[in-house]
Amino acid sequence: MKLIDANKLTALAAALARAGYRVVAPVEDSGVVRLKEWAEGAAIRTGAVPVNSAKDFLFPPSEIIGRWDLDGDDFMPRDVQPDAPKTVLLAVRPCDAAALALLDTVFNWDYKDDFYNARRQAVTVVPMVCTAADEQCFCTSVGGAPDATAGADAMLRPADGGTRFILEPLTDKGNALLDAAGLALAEGEAAADPPVEIARRFDVEAVTEWLSRNFESDLWPALSLACLGCGACAYACPTCHCFDIQDEATRRESVRLKNWDSCGFGLFTLHAGGHNPRPDQTARWRNRVMHKFSYIPERFALVGCTGCGRCARVCGAGMSMSEVCRLIADETKKAPTHES
Amino acid sequence: MSPDPDQAQAVQQPGGNLYAPITMTIAESRDETYDVRTLRLQFPGETERAAFFEKYRVGMFGLYGVPGAGESAFCIASPPTQDQYIECTFRKAGRVTTALCDREVGQAITFRGPYGNFFPIEQWKGKNIVFIAGGIALPPIRAVIWNVLDRRDEFGRLTIVYGARTVADLVYKHELQQWQKRKDVKLILTVDPGGETDDWKGEIGFVPMVLEKAAPSAENAVAVVCGPLIMIKFTLLPLKQLNFPDAHAYTTLENRMKCGVGKCGRCNVGSLYVCKDGPVFTIEQLKNLPQGDL
């Protein structure tokens, strides 16, 4: 098996960078661990779940999807190509990789989004098995696991008490990555460390079932009251894929941008005529929960949440998706009341 | 009523940019009211024209734009039977529609589409059709009306109930006159109380009440309703009293949209996407949607 010492991940990153990969890895940035493009000299931090998700590198916060030369009232379209460098997502988390099934589906649902697909094809996904979790992690409640391999091209498995990693290829892309790593990896034997145990917090099928018959429920205002509508949860989320399309222009040129958006924003659904189907934060938060745990299961037979807990870590109001789901699941255990 | 995968295939060039529009030229520009305009758009070439009309069925929508301002979703207001151009009708309401209004004949705008599902008019052959529209919601219905009129022999009696807040808010006034004169169309016009002028000869009253009074027969008939949500909701009662089955009554919804192709995530009503599962829905479907999301 292929091994690398735990303190030599940067050597692996350097070898992959030399082999032509853009290396994305968890590095310290302004005091937090963030997934970003690795540069020579940056330490790779595997001890904390990064604040952002791997989605950023497949579906970037802002992306040019159209470009025109402007000349007075005339315009001339120019070709736009996706910016899709060969990339490795190194030491991301199984909950990042688990999100790919949904992103792949949404961006190819009848119509194919080649901006996403070009990046997706250029990416090699190498999650790290989690041997530690924090109080926000709940992957096991939504069908995931700290050692899940869904969406992974290769797995980094902590071994021998965290002193080294086993790099295990799972796909052709994974094999190519191992070849590219070359001498950064050593051949040898090691004992994989057990993944962290994460207790199941709620029954996700019970949540989906409750949502299917509780669009109107007295519970929604209570569940959503703390929401500030800041959208941080959507930006940190590995599966949130809503976007806006906006033009930005100078006198000579206009670009059309696909920018991240959030169903938590008041303008998200506001009609030109003034009507807003989701006029308050309760309606907007309900859509967020419904989309992930009712609509996506109904449409795609997937769950729109991978249990990464990032939304709760970044929420300024202390809201937590797992807590909301637990409260909903608790509802289903209550005895039926007057409802026939 | 569901999205057609073949349609999706045809819309997109293999390996192409899903969001890349084509450039259309404004052939005609008409003011319908003080703030509503119709643009007639010419395709850049025969390839684009033929590709569009191969896919286009009445009820579908498109995204119209001006580089630098953005793009907005509206219905395609002309029918597939008029296959040399398309028309769109919109109210000047924001950045994009203002930019569209500022474009003149001979200038260009961007367009992509057609997207969404369509009115199943092939299933309506031989049936009577009752059209009910309010205000700026006539354009999608107008496309169906002309589609049916262009194939007049294939359909039964046509009744149109159209109302607006005021006489000034009625759109397509020149076409309303044409329909009024035709013996094979029954047109009932109405304006809200207080919206009439001295020489107004139509009805005065809200669309649902006028529909109730006109009482078109539901026998062998379908109904097509489009208007502000509040008008649609209040029209459901007279439709029920007149015995129009919910499965044979149709509406078309408009929600804020960006992508038009089921990705940007904002036009959903419950689990249904207006851009892909709609914009055309039966009243039966409409009633089953979570009403708090409309």
Nearest to B67 among A247, A290, A291 (CB): A247
As a whole number of angstroms, the distance between CA A86 and CA B17 comes to 20
The pLDDT value recorded for residue B15 is 59
What pLDDT sits at residue A333?
A: 85
Pair A66, B19: CB distance under 8 Å: yes
Count how many domains chain B has. 2
Looking at residue B3, what is its pLDDT? 47
Listed in sequence order, the residues at least 6 apart from B50 whose beta carbon sits closer than 8 Å to its beta carbon are none
Quick check: B264 and A242 CB within 8 A? yes
- Determine, yes or no, domain membership for B102: yes
Closest Cα in chain B to A80: B17
pLDDT tens over chain B, length 294 residues: 444 555 455 455 555 789 999 999 999 999 999 999 999 999 999 999 999 999 999 999 999 999 999 999 999 999 999 999 999 999 999 999 999 999 999 999 999 999 999 999 999 999 999 999 999 999 999 999 999 999 999 999 999 999 999 999 999 999 999 999 999 999 999 999 999 999 999 999 999 999 999 999 999 999 999 999 899 999 999 999 999 999 999 999 999 999 999 999 999 999 999 999 999 999 999 999 999 898
> Which DSSP helix (H) or strand (E) runs through B126?
none
Q: What is the pLDDT of residues B96-107, one digit of tens each?
A: 999 999 999 999
Cross-chain residue pair B17–A295, CB shorter than 8 Å: no
Q: What is the predicted pLDDT for the residue at A273? A: 87
What is the rounded CA–CA span in Å between residue B62 and residue B116? 9
Test the A interface: residue of B2, B7, B9, B19 with most A CBs within 10 Å: B19
Indicate whether this model's pTM tops 0.95. Answer: no
- Which residues of chain B are within 8 Å of residue A261 when distances are taken between CB atoms? 258, 264-266
Chain B partners within 8 Å of A270 (Cβ)? 256
Task: Look up residue B72 and give its DSSP letter.
Answer: E
* Region label for A98, one of left (φ > 0), alpha (ψ between -120 and 50) or beta (otherwise): alpha
Residues B132 and B242 grouped into a single domain:
yes
Q: Which two tokens stand for residue B96?
A: 């994009």
Domain boundary among B115, B147, B182: B115
Grouping H, G, I as helix, E, B as strand and the rest as coil, residue B84 is: coil
Residue pairs spanning A and B at CB distance below 8 A: 141
CB contact under 8 A, A275 and B229: yes
Residue with tokens 């022999």: B153
Q: Is residue B281 part of a domain?
A: no
User: Predicted confidence band at A110 (pLDDT cuts at 50, 70, 90)?
Assistant: confident
Instruction: Say whether both B93 and B153 belong to one domain.
Output: no
Residue B175 lies in a domain: yes
Do residues B108 and B130 share a domain? no
Of the partner residues A273, A277, A298, the one whose CB lies closest to the CB of residue B293 = A277
B52 part of a folded domain: yes
| Per-residue confidence (pLDDT) for residue A335, from 0 to 100 | 61
Query: Minimal Cα–Cα distance from B151 to chain A, Å?
Result: 32
The answer to whether the Cβ–Cβ distance between B17 and A80 falls below 8 Å is: yes
Give the CATH number, domain containing residue B174. Answer: 3.40.50.80
Structurally, chain A folds into a number of domains equal to 1
For residues B85 and B138, state if they share a domain.
Answer: no
Q: Is residue A194 part of a domain?
A: yes
For residue A340, the model assigns a pLDDT of 44
Is the pLDDT at A277 greater than 60, yes or no? yes
Contacts of A94 (CB under 8 A, 6+ apart): A127, A129, A130, A139, A144, A145, A146, A147, A148, A149, A150, A152
Q: Is residue A238 situated within a structural domain?
A: yes
Span A15-26, pLDDT tens digits: 999 999 999 999
* Cβ <8 Å between B265 and A241: yes
Residue B241 and residue B227 share a domain: yes
Mutation choice for B interface testing from A111, A113, A260 by most B CBs within 10 A: A111
| Closest Cβ–Cβ partner in A111, A268, A290 for B262 | A111
pLDDT value at residue B14:
53
Beta carbons of A113 and B16 less than 8 Å apart: no
Mean pLDDT score across all residues of chain B:
93
How far does B94 lie from chain A, in Å, by closest CA? 7
- For residue A337, the model assigns a pLDDT of 57
B216 is a domain residue? yes
Three-state DSSP state, B179? helix
Of B8, B71, B104, the CB nearest to A111: B8
pLDDT of residue B1: 46
Mean pLDDT across A141-164: 97
User: Which of A80, A112, A271 lies at the smallest CB-CB distance from B256?
Assistant: A271
CA distance A83 to chain B (A): 13
Same domain, yes or no, for B104 and B128?
no
ipTM confidence score: 0.92
A34-56, pLDDT tens digit by residue? Answer: 999 999 999 999 999 999 999 99
SS3 of chain A: CEEEEHHHHHHHHHHHHHCCCEEEEEEEECCEEEEEECCCCCCECCCCCCCCCHHHHCCCCEEEEEEEEEECCEEEEECCCCCCCCEEEEEECHHHHHCHHHHHHHCCCCCCCHHHHHHHHCEEEEEECCCCCCCCCCHHHHCCCCCCCCCCCEEEEEECCCCEEEEEECCHHHHHHHHHHHHHCEECCCCECCCCCCCCCCCHHHHHHHHHCCCCCCHHHHHHCCCCCCCHHHHHCCCCCCEEEEEEECCCEEEEEEEECCCCCCCCCCCCCCCCCCCCHHHHHHHHHHHHHHHHHHHHCCCCCCCCCHHHHHCCCCCCHHHHHHHHHHHHHCCCCCCC
How many Å lie between the alpha carbon of B36 and the closest alpha carbon of chain A? 13
Name all contacts of B41-46 with Cβ < 8 Å and 24+ positions apart.
B41/B85, B41/B86, B41/B87, B41/B88, B41/B109, B41/B111, B42/B84, B42/B85, B43/B85
Report in angstroms the alpha-carbon separations of A193 from A1, A163, A174, A190, B223: 15, 10, 21, 9, 66
The answer to whether the Cβ–Cβ distance between B67 and A68 falls below 8 Å is: yes
- Please, what's the largest Cα pairwise distance for chain B? 59
- The answer, yes or no, to whether residue A339 has pLDDT greater than 80, is no
**Is A338 within the bounds of a domain?**
no
Q: Is A340 within the bounds of a domain?
A: no
Bridge partners (DSSP) of residue B161 are: B132, B188
Q: What CATH number has the domain bearing residue B36?
A: 2.40.30.10
> What pLDDT, on a 0 to 100 scale, did the predictor assign at position A253?
97
- Is A102 a member of any domain? yes
How is residue B89 written in tokens? 């009708």
pLDDT at B16: 78
Nearest CA in chain B to A249: B68
Domain annotation covers residue B57? yes
The answer to whether position B144 is within a domain reads yes
Tokens coding A133 = 């979790």
Give the residue numbers spanning the domain of A292: 2-333
Domain range for B22: 5-115
**Is A287's CB within 8 Å of B293's CB?**
yes
Q: Is A44 a member of any domain?
A: yes
| Residues A117, A259, B116: CA angle, nearest 5 degrees | 65
Out of B23, B67, B254, closest to residue A254 by CB: B67
In a domain, residue B260? The reply is no
- Whether A201 is covered by a domain: the verdict is yes
